[in-house]
Structure 1
Amino acid sequence: MAAFAQFGCGGAGSNVAPADANANSAAVSEFAYITDPNAALAEGNRLLDNNQTEKAIEAYRRAVELNPDLAEAHFQLGIAYALIESEMQQSGANVEATANTGEKKAGQPKPNSQKAFEKAVEAYKKLIAANAKDDVSQFNLGRAYNKLNKDEEAEDAFKNAVKLKPEDTEYQTEYGAILVKLAKYREALGPLKKAIEIDAENSRAANLLEDAEAGAKRIDFAQKDDDKKPDSNTANANMAANSNSPVGSANSNTKTAKEEPKEKRPERPTPKPKP
């Protein structure tokens, strides 16, 4: 797989035009002809859906070059970079920083995916500042925070999305998922049950609901058992610390970008790229 210069690997593959004979001239993206940022975004989405991740990155980069405030393009760019980083790590390549873990050694630069998700957060905040009732931006802000492992911030954003549009099964599902991730099992029961009520075929919500119910029972059992012991206050504190670890399936960051729900997008006509 060709890799980008940002990853410290040589060669940019077929995603850029051949370099000029002058070594000082910059390589020109094959998407330079696109002048509409939404068209570049649409092309990036098409390429990503077709597993052409590196070309998708170039298209998304063109979109944010044309419109630095295009939040969706920053988010999708983060998804694409995360896929490349994950593949490189699995192949044993030396990626400068670990993506989607929230951990970075001192002195190491941020991975490209993290940079993109941080820019997505900034862009979504601008949209929300302009329209506090924008449920789509609230939801996508939660997803961007989740990618950065800022779970409390993600919880707040998903909660706001649910308040604005309670009948959206995906909003309820992701709100329940982040609560499970935070080991707030009993709080997660309501939104997950609501998600299934809205869509009985929502298997993700059903699986998360099982996790939440199991987690709540585990904590209840531990507390009842500790109440019978002499020094119950200390035991309860210790047990809460041990029990409040979310089950693996609740952490959406362990999933690949292809497996998770696609980002909510505002309804608008999709511009067609030039041939």
Structure 2
Amino acid sequence: MGGENVSTRRGVALALSVLLLPACASTQVSDSDRYRAQAAYDRALGHLRERQPSPALGALKEAVAVDPNVAVYRDTLGLVYLELGRPDLAIEQLRRAAELDPKLADAHFHLGTAYAESARWEDAVASYRQALAQPTLGIPDLVHQNLGLALYHLKRYPEAESSLRFALSLDPKLQAGYYNLGLVLMAEKRAPEARAAFRRARELAPDSPFGQAALERLKTLGDRGVN
């Protein structure tokens, strides 16, 4: 996650607040199949709590196959595909989740992340903005951070800076926000401000991928006093 091409996203183990949302009742599915799908989904949650995304994947596929119109099943399946490094497969599931429940903010956020990891920046921006428009969104700092990164890749630097600074106002310890703000400021040739952003990223966690990437950026900017 230390490079400029990767969006911030929660790991599966950190996303259980999303995964524990009750699945909405679907139509044209028998009660027995609905219970079977819910049982498969519950098994998947158990695997995810144990940080076992591979067996969770099989259970989630079963849940979606048996009861395909529950948005949270598809959202969770898409999130697991992201964790397994398959944004191409995630996009299909997350797009369908957002169609099934347009108010499910996390589906839009995860879809935006899948687009970002596929370098589809315009699509990522649209999905992040859909997430921000939903009253159910619980992580606006991360969405604004990811939105800022996508706008940076589109060279829409003033918008990117605004989004990143807003993310940092919500979470002053968001390391990715400082790093990506530094990228924006470098692109705008505002070297002193970029150095300050990269230094702050280093201070928060110098040994993390973002911290190491910030060190390299500082060296590029001629800041030899860092280590």
In the superposition, the TM-score normalised over structure 2's length comes to 0.56
**How far 1:75 sits from its partner (Å)?**
4.2
Counterparts of residues 93-172 of structure 1 (less than 5 Å): 99-100=86-87, 114-128=88-102, 131=103, 134-164=104-134, 168-172=140-144
CA RMSD across the alignment: 3.4
Match of 1:53 in 2: 53
Alignment CA distance shift 1:68-1:159 (3 Å): same
Contact 2:82/2:114 (<8 A) preserved:
no
Match of 1:90 in 2: none
The question of 1:185 aligning with 2:181 is answered: no
Contact 2:91/2:111 (<8 A) preserved:
no
| Structure 1 or 2: more helix by fraction | 2
Contact 2:44/2:55 (<8 A) preserved:
yes
Could you report, residue by residue, the CA deviation over 1:241-274 in whole angstroms, capped at 9, with x for unpaired residues?
A: xxxxxxxx7xxxxxxxxxxxxxxxxxxxxxxxxx
**How far 1:201 sits from its partner (Å)?**
1.4
The question of 1:201 aligning with 2:173 is answered: yes
Alignment CA distance shift 1:209-1:43 (3 Å): farther
Contact 2:82/2:90 (<8 A) preserved:
no
Could you report, residue by residue, the CA deviation over 1:130-174 in whole angstroms, capped at 9, with x for unpaired residues?
A: x5xx54443233234334443211111212333456982122112
**How far 1:213 sits from its partner (Å)?**
1.1
Structure 2 unmatched runs, 5+: 1-32, 191-209, 211-227
**How far 1:177 sits from its partner (Å)?**
1.9
Could you report, residue by residue, the CA deviation over 1:222-245 in whole angstroms, capped at 9, with x for unpaired residues?
A: xxxxxxxxxxxxxxxxxxxxxxxx
Contact 2:148/2:164 (<8 A) preserved:
yes
Structure 1 unmatched runs, 5+: 1-32, 87-98, 101-113, 219-248, 250-275
Alignment CA distance shift 1:181-1:38 (3 Å): farther
In the superposition, the TM-score normalised over structure 1's length comes to 0.48
**How far 1:64 sits from its partner (Å)?**
0.8
Alignment CA distance shift 1:205-1:79 (3 Å): same
Could you report, residue by residue, the CA deviation over 1:31-50 in whole angstroms, capped at 9, with x for unpaired residues?
A: xx993545533432442353
Match of 1:211 in 2: 183
Q: How many pairs align?
A: 159
Q: State the percentage of identical aligned residues.
A: 23
Could you report, residue by residue, the CA deviation over 1:48-81 in whole angstroms, capped at 9, with x for unpaired residues?
A: 3534232111111122123213344334434544
Contact 1:72/1:120 (<8 A) preserved:
no
Larger radius of gyration between Structure 1 and Structure 2: 1
